[in-house]
Amino acid sequence: DETKLTRADRSTSLNLKSLPERGMLLLMVLVLLGGSVVPFGAASSPDAGHHNTSNHKKPFPVLSVDYEHIRFPFEISLWVLLASLMKLGFHLVPRLSSIVPESCLLIVVGLLVGGLIKLARENVPPVLNSKLFFLCLLPPIILDAGYFLPIRPFMENLGSILIFAVVGTLWNAFFIGGLLYAVCQIQPANPSDLHNLNLLSCLLFGAIISAVDPVAVLAVFEEIHINELLHILVFGESLLNDAVTVVLYHLFEEFVAAGTVTVMDGFLGVISFLVVALGGVLVGAIYGILAAFTSRFTSHTRVIEPLFVFVYSYMAYLSSEMFHLSGIMALIACGAVMRPYVEANISHKSHTTIKYFLKMWSSVSETLIFIFLGVATVDGPHSWNWTFVTVTVILCLVARVIGVVGLTFVLNKFRIVKLTTKDQFIIAYGGLRGAIAFSLGYLLTKEHFPMREMFLTAIITVIFFTVFVQGMTIKPLVELLAVKKKQEAKRSINEEIHTQFLDHLLTGIEDICGHYGHHHWKDKLNRFNKKYVKKCLIAGERSKEPQLIAFYHKMEMKQAIELVQSGGGVKLPSAVPSTVSMQNIQPKKPTPGKSEERALPQLPKGREEEIRNILRSNLQKTRQRLRSYNRHTLMADPYEDGFGDYLVKKQKMIELEKKVQLSVPLKCF
């Protein structure tokens, strides 16, 4: 009985204690749901009490919608989500992706989205304006291309790329603009709108439409896996012709506004081209060096290492655009300059972050560009003229073919690796136009260019023709012509050593001949880089690390990652066996008594032995070459399988020869 009483007392005390809590909860529910609650802002008003008693009290909003507050970021997120889903769905259908290029499908999606918005009687947003394109969508694509640009093939073909980018773009601009003006002046007895076009306006249109677009080239050429030479020629041209296009655009725009052209204007235009091109490269190189120098001090804050790569690159692009320099060339120079030094300083995780974030960012931007291009086509300001549009498409094709064939004829006289007829066809056929031409046309003002709508319509038509017709047919043509494709082969130490050996050999030949070619200057640049630049931009002992050990370090890291990803059950390639521990080839700390300023050829005995171990383990084991071909002194490779049998046979041959010599009479001699 006593226990029952104590339990009852405890339950009543708990209930009494929970009464205040229940009361507070009930009060909160009344505050939230009651209609007589005073609004939040009423307490600050002196007449709040009088106002609430005289009028009907407004209920507290339990749920409200404020779309305008989050409209801008919400719509951006929707566009990015749509682009990602379209890209995902495209690759889920292998048959479709093998027939239709991704860029074509994305433009069709943009046309459908714009059509649905139009059918809903809503205003199609101007999604692809020039500011959004040049400041937000284009930089990540160019940075990804510049940061992972294959430097060696690019520099080896730099002369051909510059010829195609500069001379070829100038030829296309003046050929298209001049003949287009001539066509517009036909039949003066029948006046039309085309007669109102002057020569400068046609030349400006020719400069806009003649530039090969890097976004469209990347989207198509990466799908067909063309060989490295053709890819670097067309893609390098699309990157470097930006400077020519920017200069011609601003030059003809100023001429149209002024109305007159003098010889001094033409001379200043040439100087402007040099300033725009070289200025963009200089700005990008400066920011690249700053990014590399900053990465020296990030060993304790690894998290922010990728941030410096992105921010310095974007600052290089914005700084170039601020002075009307070539932002594309600034990004290319910044990525190419910073990469070797930044990768030597940052951790492997940061390198992976940079790689995949750049790939993701550039892929989303490329997808959005093609979708926005389709959306802008639906509700854009169009003015269709059959004559102007048809002549523009034909002149673009003719000018491209004549320019490539003529320039290649000249280049083949100086190139060691000649460009064949198939190569010329692919280069000419791969001159795709894209969103850069559309954005430049969008910048034109109605005041100085009354035919602006007709220009935009012709530009969109050329873009659609090159992307859909040429982009969809280039892959079957590559297979039909049996053009060499890219071969994905991993570099080995054997290839690295022979590449360096050939570089040194060609440099020595140039020095002996007294001809200072690009191998001589490349060797000078490498020596300056090792002696001064690497010490300033690379932290720790990595700056003194020989190139062979640095390459072996990268190869070991890739091999270890592949082994882990495969679960450890896969057999490692025999060409690069992991027989030398990376701990044994790390640079050793110098002793305090010895000088740290030592030339790279003067390696310590231990370091030389480590390099020998690497070479002995990774190079192919070939038969040793002897001084003579005497069968008595012929030696076999001890690493071969039948070496023991060979020794037995050789011993028997020696014994047989001795017996033959003893059995011959002396008088025979």
DSSP notation for 75-94? HHHHHHHHHHHHHHHHHT-H
Question: For the segment 143-176, what is each residue's pLDDT rounded down to a tens digit?
Answer: 998 899 888 889 888 889 999 999 999 999 999 9
Q: How far apart are alpha carbons 234 and 429 in whole angstroms?
A: 10
Highest averaged pLDDT of the listed ranges 40-49, 275-284, 373-382: 275-284
Highest averaged pLDDT of the listed ranges 8-12, 82-86, 553-557: 82-86
Percent of the chain whose pLDDT exceeds 90 = 18
pLDDT tier, 627 (very low <50, low <70, confident <90, very high otherwise): very low
Mean pLDDT to the nearest integer, 561-568: 69
Q: Which residue has the higher pLDDT, 612 or 360?
A: 360
Q: Which residue has the higher pLDDT, 513 or 487?
A: 513
**The tokens 């992972």 sit on which residue?**
148
Considering only CA atoms, which of 228, 102, 254 is closest in space to residue 156? 228
Considering only CA atoms, which of 421, 442, 431 is closest in space to residue 393? 431
Mean pLDDT to the nearest integer, 329-345: 92
pLDDT tier, 284 (very low <50, low <70, confident <90, very high otherwise): very high
Domain 130-365+381-481 has CATH 1.20.1530.20: yes
Specify the 3-state DSSP secondary structure of 382.
coil
Q: How far apart are alpha carbons 490 and 554 in whole angstroms?
A: 12
Buried/exposed code over 389-424 (b: 16+ C-beta within 10 A; e: otherwise):
bebbbebbbebbbebbeebbeebeeeeeeebeeebb
Dihedral sign from CA coordinates of 449, 452, 454, 460? positive
pLDDT over threshold 90, residue 46: no
Q: Which residue has the higher pLDDT, 375 or 491?
A: 375
**Integer Rg of the chain from CA:** 36
- H/E stretch holding 50 reads helix 48-54
Specify the 3-state DSSP secondary structure of 226.
strand
In this prediction, residue 597 carries a pLDDT of: 42
pLDDT tier, 476 (very low <50, low <70, confident <90, very high otherwise): confident
Angle (deg, nearest 10), helices 214-224 and 138-147 = 50
Q: How far apart are alpha carbons 597 and 591 in whole angstroms?
A: 12
**DSSP-assigned letter for residue 193:** G
Specify the 3-state DSSP secondary structure of 627.
coil
What rounded mean pLDDT belongs to the chain? 77
CATH 1.20.1530.20 boundaries in the chain: 130-365+381-481
Q: How far apart are alpha carbons 310 and 93 in whole angstroms?
A: 34
Mean pLDDT to the nearest integer, 26-52: 44
Mean pLDDT to the nearest integer, 449-460: 88
- Listed in sequence order, the residues at least 6 apart from 54 whose beta carbon sits closer than 8 Å to its beta carbon are none
Q: Which residue has the higher pLDDT, 610 or 282?
A: 282
pLDDT over threshold 50, residue 640: no
Considering only CA atoms, which of 473, 430, 456, 457 is closest in space to residue 212? 430
Specify the 3-state DSSP secondary structure of 485.
strand
pLDDT tier, 190 (very low <50, low <70, confident <90, very high otherwise): low
**The tokens 């559309």 sit on which residue?**
438
Mean pLDDT to the nearest integer, 529-550: 77
pLDDT tier, 546 (very low <50, low <70, confident <90, very high otherwise): low
Whether 218 and 311 have beta carbons less than 8 Å apart is answered as no
pLDDT over threshold 90, residue 524: no
In this prediction, residue 199 carries a pLDDT of: 85
The whole model's pTM is what?
A: 0.73
Percent of the chain whose pLDDT exceeds 70 = 73
CA distances from 119 to 79, 115, 122, 457 (A): 19, 6, 7, 22
